[in-house]
Amino acid sequence: MKRSLPPSVVVAKVAATVLGWGFGTHRLLPAVHIPPREVREMKRFALILLLVALPAFATAAPTARKMCVFDPSGTHGDLYKFAERFQAAALAWGVKFHLKVNTNEVVATSDFKAGKCQAVLMTSLRARTFVKSTGTLEAIGALPSYKHLHKVIKVLSSPKAKRYVIQGDYEAAAILPGGAIYLLLGKRGNASMSKLAGKRIATLVHDKPGRVMVDTVGASMVAAEVGTFAGIFNNGRADACYAPASAIKPLELLKGMKKGGGIVRYPLAQLSFQVLVRSKEFGPDFGQKARKWAAGQFKESLKMAKRAERALPGKYWIEVSDADKALYDLKLREVRIRMRAKGVYHGGILRLMKRIRCKMDKARPECKDKRE
């Protein structure tokens, strides 16, 4: 006579029998009689459950990827802190990033290009090599304020803007503000655009738009690298240079302005930092999720730039008259049009930024024509 067992033991026995094939787990429980037909049905049902559950198990573990992070301050810098926030957010998108910091942007860029990193955090100037469209956000004179930049980033975070953020194998997965780039002068009297003619401007050799800007205003270029332009300006070998506020104190650029110089309060360009990825190394929705998240981080990311601007003594800021602003606008627009013709700037992004400028200020003279 078969002995009866409590229902809980029967359930455990069934589970062990069905799911424990080949593992001998059914031997751990007392024997209980189950009709063969019911066992077959249970096994069939369990197999269906397993087939349904397998994909979930397969995607549960995040995919490991490496991100090269450019931060001149190493792991103590604001860019690395952003990368850590991005790393934490990416876990929800199925990716676990290993961060590799580089204080030299050329090294970070080279590692990404060589495939040593599947993602990289870099400046928009370098990003333009991989994704020309988002690299065009740094176009000279294109974004007069942080509000303009914020609107552009929000547009590019929309699924409808996907064609603007992908170029070949590369995709811009995040865009964050890096601060406005200003003109720094050794003498305040050169703040007017017309006074820059004949002056020497320290210009980065790899910055094509910068070279064209110098030519457009009638100034002369003093060739410089990232590591040398500060010394050239501070030693008086150049009458002017350009940089974001966040670079002024670390590079001691106030030295070049101590004899009556200053900072022209007119954004020559908007520096941005971008996370680029190799699209094929990530899921189809990764980039879109990342861009939407990064757009929501705009205000937090902008704190670094605003903090650097507030830290500069007020006596160094040079206000620009409306007439001079109009001349700056006109001259820098010519630079953008020339850079588009040379294939450096992306025409679609230039048109997008113009639409935003004209939407925010319909009285701008450029809104009456279609040159840009």
Round to whole Å and give the CA distance between 224 and 201. 10
Q: CB–CB of 80/73 below 8 Å?
A: yes
b/e code 2-18 from CB counts within 10 Å (16+ = b): eeebeeeeeebbbebbb
**27-36, 131-140, 219-228, 357-366: lowest mean pLDDT where?**
27-36
**Nearest C-alpha neighbor of 348 from the set 161, 151, 87:** 161
pLDDT of residue 236: 95
The better pLDDT of the pair 28, 340 is held by 340
pLDDT at 271 over 90: yes
Domains of the chain: 7-60 (no CATH), 63-179+270-314 (3.40.190.170)
pLDDT at 112 over 70: yes
How do 220-224 and 119-123 pair as beta strands?
unpaired
pLDDT of residue 4: 45
Q: What is the pLDDT of residues 286-325, one digit of tens each?
A: 999 999 999 999 999 999 899 999 999 999 999 999 999 9
Q: What angle do CA 315, 320, 323 make, to 5 degrees?
A: 160
Confidence category of residue 1, pLDDT binned at 50, 70, 90: very low
Please state whether 30 falls in left (phi above 0), alpha (psi between -120 and 50) or beta: beta
pLDDT of residue 24: 39
pLDDT of residue 47: 53
pLDDT at 129 over 80: yes
pLDDT at 198 over 50: yes
Look over the chain and give the mean of its residue pLDDT values, rounded to a whole number: 87
Q: CB–CB of 173/277 below 8 Å?
A: yes
Alpha-carbon distance values, 254 to 187, 222, 363 (Å): 12, 19, 36
Report how far apart the first and last C-alpha atoms of the chain are (Å, whole number).
Answer: 93
pLDDT at 60 over 70: no
